[in-house]
Structure formats: C-alpha cells, structure tokens
Structure 1
Amino acid sequence: MTAPKRNKARANGEGTIYQRKDGRWEAAGYVLAADGTRKRVRVYGTTRKNAADKLTDKIANSNRGLPVATADSTLGDYLTYWLNSVAVHRLRENTHTRYATCIRLHLIPGLGTKKIARLTARDVRTFLDRLRTTCQCCTQGLDAERKRCCAIGECCQKRLSPLTVTYVHSVLKSSLEHAVREDELPRNVARNVKTATLRPKRFRPLTAAEARQFLDAARADRLHALYELALRTGLRKGELLGLHWEDLDPIAGTVTIRRSLQRTRTGGLTHLPTKTRASERRIALPTECVNSLKKHQEQQEREREEAGASWKGMGLVFSTPTGRPLDPANLTRRFGDFLDRVQLRRIRFHDLRHSTATLLLEQGVDLVVIKELLGHAHIGVTAGVYAHVRLRLQRQAIDSLGNALDATDDEAGDPPATAVIR
C-alpha cells in the first residue's frame, strides 16, 4: 500500500499554510507593513492554492519594496498605503487628488490613530457627527496666521456641507472595502453607518424661451458653434473641448466622443479617457450644429492664416486663435462674461447640459434615449437627476386626465376603441 502523498514543504520565507476548523485555508507570512516594519500577515482562501496564491502575491509585493497593510496597522498608515499603492492605479488623477485632500484634512486627523482591526461603526459614526458640527477654521487652524475669527475667540461656525461629509464617508468606505477584499478585515464597518440622504442639488435650467434667446445671442460670438453644440446635444465641457475634427462625420451627421480635456495637477491640460465607458459614444448631430461647425471650421482656417508661424494647431475643433487647447476654467469665465454681455440669466456652463435633458423630457423623449445621449452609465442616474422634471410631467398628465374626466358628454369625444398602455 502506497503512503498518501504529502504536500511539498514550503521554503524558508514562503510562510505557512494550514486548514482551519471551519474548512477555510489560512496562510501567514512576514511582509513589509505600511509603517515600514516587517509584520506577520494572514490571508484566507477556500482552497490551499487560493490561500497560497494570495500570500505569494503579498510576499512578492513586499520583496519589491511595496508596503502591505496588516490588521494591526493604524488607519492613518493604511489610508496612506491604500492611496499611494492601490487607489493611484484605479482613479483618474483629479479624483485621486480629491481623495488625498480628503484623507489629509479629515480622515487622518479624525481617525488616523485608530487600529484598523479595532475600528468600529460607532467610531465612524462619532467621527462623522463631529465632522458635521465642528467649525473647520477651529479644527484646522485656518485663522491662526490671520489672527482673526476663531483665532481670537470669535468662532465663525464654518462647518462642512452635508455633501462634503458624505464624500469623506465614501472615501473611507472605499478604502476599507479594499481591506475586506484582501481578507485583511472581516467586514467594512463604515458601510454599517448610514448617512442622511442628500437632497438633489437644485438647478435652474433654461426654459424653451430662454434657450431660443441664448442661441440667438450666441450667433455673434466666436464660440457660437461650441455653445450651440452644448445646448443641442448636452455634451460635457471636457468632451466639447476634447473634440478633434476627425471625430466629426458631417456626411453622416454624427460625432464620436472619445476623450475629455481636463487640467490636472501634474500634466496641465491633458486629454483623458471619457468619464465612464458609457460616456464613450456616438451621437447624432442636429442639422443646425453641422452648419455652425462648418462656419466655425472656416473661421478657424482664417485664424490659422493670420497666426502664421505662431499657429500651434492640434486638430482641435475648439481652440484659441493660435490653435492651442482652450482651458476649461477660461471657458467658464468667458461663458459668464457672455451671459452678462447679452443680459441673460446667470447659469453654470454645466446647466446647458441640464437644460438639454430637461427640454427633451418636456418634449416627451424617452428616458433611455436621453441616457444614451448624455452618456450616463446607468439610467438610474438620469432618472435621479431629473426626478423633479418627471414629477412635473406627472402632474401635467394627472391634470390632463382630470380635465378629461370632468368634461361634460358634449365636451369630451368618445375614446378610441382600444388603447395600448406601456
């Protein structure tokens, strides 16, 4: 009778693996921790190979000098590790910068000394409550150098907005979720803390009359084609500024959205992928936009001739008079100046996009079509943002039905024999 085959012994430094009483496999070994010391880390798997592979990955990263979070790390050390070793590879640069600011200003000062394994839902709830009620000038010493307000005992009560508190909470949840996926924590305690549901941000899109007035006034502006394209298609500012002439198909009457122009801290004005995969799309161009883009192209050719050797063209549809990219911040200022000059109500540039969707909804266009035009990842986003419009349309529909039901026999015509309800 042959002896049962034994598992091959692991070499020195490869850690240990054994099966637990609950049937799971546990692997343990020493790695470089987030605080710079070498600590023992444990990982779990449904099979021996699964646990071994997880430990091998951690040890390999440790041997390359990459720190690995451990259960006895402080939250501050873990957040620093997660931000610089994990999130940096998954987030757009501007989003990563906002995460870093959130961690530096709020999470590390408020929870940084807590052990990640001992963090409780109560700790998180207490932290968020304190964040809502504490003056940020006092907490961060913003008025210390200026020697006014909080620094002289006259607290200004500058608190964080509910939206910012929710954002801080979401960053904490994202970081701890990674720890759960890596089997460093049994559960994400931040998910057990519920924050108040935020009311949608109110915006005042253009009415149909205001939109017509806007388009009439824009005809005399150098960026007429950009403003018209923004209002008639709902493209985002970065998508408009990232358009190249090769993205347009005037014969088919379409435009393909492939990229977005953004200003980043390290790269300056940079072409980045679209906001989401759904944002990369091909949409139909209204005839008015095709015509205005042709005129804009002729204008750009004249500017190229006038600029001569100073022309720095990159094939962009919308550029400066010398062919350089338009800075998003400069476009925002220019848009505000345009509204003041033609005496139109002040709105944000992004409200042109809201105006597009609102006007389409009011014309009875299907929500799915609007979702595809705007490039939303999920129809729930479209439905949520424009819930107030749908409620108003419901009210109009109910009132119309009420008028029909209240009409006399002489006023109301006979209904059709059959009606299809969708």
Structure 2
Amino acid sequence: MSKILIGKYEATIYPEGSGFTGALSLGFSPDGKRRRIKRKGKTKTEFKTKLIEVVDDLESGIDGSASYTVRDAVEDWLTKGLKDRDPGTITTNRILADKHVIPLIGEAKLRDLRADDVDEWLDGLTGKLSTRSLQGVHSILKRAIRQAQARNKVLRNVAELVTTPKGKAGRPSKALTLAQATAVLEKSKTSPLHAYVVLSLMTGVRTEEARALRWDHVVAWVDDRTGWRPVTDVGFDHKRFAIYVWRSVRAHGDTKTEKSRRTLELPEEVAQALRLHHKRQAEQRLKAGKDWQDHGLVFCTRTGAPLDAGNVRRAFRGITRKAKIGEKWTPRELRHSFVSIMSDNGVPIETIADLVGHAGTAVTEKVYRHQLKPVITKGAETMNTIFSQHKSA
C-alpha cells in the first residue's frame, strides 16, 4: 500500500486483482465517522485520473458519485420532489418517466450528460409524442437534474440549455352538434354517468370540477328571504336549483384559477337528472353498508369513492358508441360542446366566458372579483329553450 497526494487530499493505493484500488480521505463527518471515496483502475495512471476528477468535483462543490445516473436522478426526484403533489400528477409523471425517460436516457452518467444527448433524446420522441407530452418529459428531466444540483451531485443542468421541440400534431378538440348532443343525452339515460353528462353538457363545467362536486354545493332556491340552500338541508322539492363551482380534483381542491369559482343556475333537465341520481345514490349507499366511503360527492363509485378520470373516459366512450357518433370523444369535449351550442344560439362571448369561468374580459374580471359570485341564470334559460324546442320539432 502506498500513499499519494491529490491536491490537498491524501489517498491510499494498493494492488487488487488485475488493477489498483484506493481511497481518498475526506476527513470526518459530523457524526465522527471517517469519510472516504473509493475508486478502481486498471493502471495507476487511470486510478490517479479518477481521483483527480473527484477532487475537481469536490473543489467545485460537487460530491456526486461518478456512477450516479440519469435514472438515479429521476427516481430520486419522483420519490422526493413530488411529496406535496396530488396523486394524479404523481401518476402522470411516473408513467412518462417509466416510458420515455428512464428506458431511453436513464443509463447515462449524470455528470457526463451533455446538451447534445438531451437534444437527440427529445428529437427521437417527436414522432411519437405530442408537443405537450414532450414538454412533460423534458420537464421531468430538468426538474430531476435541478434537484440533483441542489444536492451537489452535478454542477450544471444541461437539460435547461435545450429547447423542447414540437411533437406530432395532437387530435384537435371538437364539439357535438345539437343533434349529436341530443343523441348522447338520450343514450346516457341507462348509464350511471347520465347526470354527469347532462351537467357537463348543459352547464359547461370542467371535468375536474364535476368530479369534485359535493351535494352541499348543489343548492335550491327556497324563497326571497332564505335564498339558496343546500339540497342536503332542504331536499329537491323546489323549482330552481344551482351549483357552486368552487372545487376541483386539482391539488388542494382549488378550481383551475381563482376566477373559475362561480355559481350557475341549473337547467331543468340537469336538476331532474341530479334528483334521480341522488335517489339512486341513496340506494347504493344502503346496499354498500359499512363499505360506503362518505366523501359527500355527487359523482362517485358504487362505494362512494372519488371517480377516476380514466373510468369516466371509458364510460363516456360507451355512451358515444351507443349514440352512434364513434368512440373518439372525451368528457372534456362536453364543455367545448356547451360553448359551441351557446355561441350558435347567439349568446354573447362575454356571457359564455362568465358561464365557463374564463378570464380575459373586463366583464369577467368584474364578476369574479368577489369570492361569492351572483348566480348566472343565462345558461339555464338558454339550455331550457334550446333542448325543449329540439325535442318538440
């Protein structure tokens, strides 16, 4: 065994097998244990070169292992960097990482990763992923390396130096015609998703807002003195109903933006669908017994648990298939259909923006300045007229 100096650090070296092994002494850790970094090389020169690289990293503030890979960085980020995110976000990032990041670029040593490597990786995905998905996988790598930087495992974030390329064109969103919308409403009557479809189509709420809707946010108009009261208190034996769109399935239960919080009066068909849905849910609750999970949700599973977005999409495809308009429709396109039908029937864009919770106009900004908004009745009045006329035609 012999000793050598690498900068200000002392290293020991000894023959082992067909090469050399040694360790660089870094003093002692706060708990009193000796800190050492081991390296191996086929020759003394190779071994010394590796130790010089270690010292260079130490002097620049980097103490990452030469074997630390992109996979390691991504796994560390998925484990430590998403602690406060909602389950849906965690699942989405895990799927993208497992499918498009780790298998394709994960074995690269993080300290050796170059901007050209990231460019080539992203370019190889342009024919497979949409621009949005490419932005997602690129973001995973950038944030994983950023976390590694914060832990002194790499000096710079080369992923930040690369521009995300454009991906393949995604399927453009589309809207149901009035005839298609009527067919969907009819065929959804035998589905547990019926009230969900009617509400989404006739009020324009976002899918994440519909899935988060609670029964205490479905309200009935009692009288001029009492005003709007939750149906959980006053029941459905009333003529006018509204919903408080104040929650979503996003992290912390917030709507997409603060200005998305709104109160919408319900068309008669929506109120009737919710009335029947409430009755059926009560029956399901009795049947489930002790297995029932009481989240107070309007739309839930047979045991009261929150609905999964994937299950909603599959059930909706079944409805559109029965309506003979194909299966290439998504629940969020009920919202697009609402906007299209309202626009086709002469409703001003400012009113539509209010109804769907969009910002961007002076009127919208004024209406949504306060947390509790006035009830918007135009959507209910228009939908009552549109669909009653179509059915009587």
**TM norm structure 1:** 0.53
- Deviation track 1:311-362 (CA, whole Å, cap 9, x = no partner) reads 8362332345665655544443433333333444542223212222333455
Count of aligned positions: 288
SS of 2:262's equivalent in the other structure is strand
Distance verdict in 2 for CA 1:329–1:195, change over 3 Å:
closer
Moved more, 72-81 or 322-331: 322-331
Distance verdict in 2 for CA 1:294–1:122, change over 3 Å:
same
- Deviation track 1:46-76 (CA, whole Å, cap 9, x = no partner) reads xxxxxxxxxxxxxxxxxxxxxx984965433
- Partners of 1:42 and 1:310 lie apart in 2 by 60
Equivalent of 1:161 in 99, 114, 129? 129
Equivalent of 1:241 in 211, 215, 232? 211
- Partners of 1:249 and 1:358 lie apart in 2 by 27
What residue in structure 2 maps to residue 3 of structure 1?
none
Instruction: Give the superposition deviation at 1:206.
Output: 0.1
Correspondence list, 1:261-280, <5 A = 273-274=253-254, 276=256, 278=258
CA contact (8 A) 1:203 1:351 kept: yes
1:98 aligns with 2:87: no
- Partners of 2:359 and 2:110 lie apart in 1 by 33
What residue in structure 2 maps to residue 353 of structure 1?
335
- For 1:88, the aligned partner's letter is L
- Partners of 2:168 and 2:350 lie apart in 1 by 23
Correspondence list, 1:229-378, <5 A = 229-251=199-221, 252=228, 253-260=242-249, 273-274=253-254, 276=256, 278=258, 281-288=261-268, 289-301=270-282, 307=287, 309=289, 312=292, 314=294, 315-319=296-300, 326=307, 328-346=309-327, 347-362=329-344, 363=346, 365-366=348-349, 370=353, 373-374=355-356
- For 1:214, the aligned partner's letter is V
Distance verdict in 2 for CA 1:101–1:378, change over 3 Å:
farther
- Partners of 2:206 and 2:343 lie apart in 1 by 18
Distance verdict in 2 for CA 1:342–1:122, change over 3 Å:
closer
1:75 aligns with 2:75: no
Distance verdict in 2 for CA 1:222–1:13, change over 3 Å:
closer
1:170 aligns with 2:170: no
Distance verdict in 2 for CA 1:297–1:185, change over 3 Å:
same
Correspondence list, 1:111-150, <5 A = 111-132=105-126
- Partners of 2:125 and 2:280 lie apart in 1 by 53
Identity %: 24
SS of 1:88's equivalent in the other structure is coil
- Partners of 1:173 and 1:282 lie apart in 2 by 36
Equivalent of 1:207 in 154, 159, 177? 177
Unaligned ranges ≥5, structure 2: 1-27, 38-53, 222-227, 229-241, 362-393
CA contact (8 A) 1:239 1:274 kept: no
- For 2:330, the aligned partner's letter is R
SS of 1:230's equivalent in the other structure is helix
CA contact (8 A) 1:239 1:259 kept: yes
Instruction: Give the superposition deviation at 1:88.
Output: 2.1
Unaligned ranges ≥5, structure 1: 1-11, 15-29, 44-67, 133-158, 262-270, 380-422
CA contact (8 A) 2:135 2:164 kept: no
- Deviation track 1:391-421 (CA, whole Å, cap 9, x = no partner) reads xxxxxxxxxxxxxxxxxxxxxxxxxxxxxxx
- For 2:313, the aligned partner's letter is T
- Partners of 1:281 and 1:273 lie apart in 2 by 12
**TM norm structure 2:** 0.56
- Deviation track 1:171-193 (CA, whole Å, cap 9, x = no partner) reads 22333345567886455544433
Instruction: Give the superposition deviation at 1:249.
Output: 2.2
- For 1:366, the aligned partner's letter is I
What residue in structure 2 maps to residue 395 of structure 1?
none
- Partners of 1:108 and 1:162 lie apart in 2 by 19
C-alpha RMSD of matched pairs (Å): 4.5
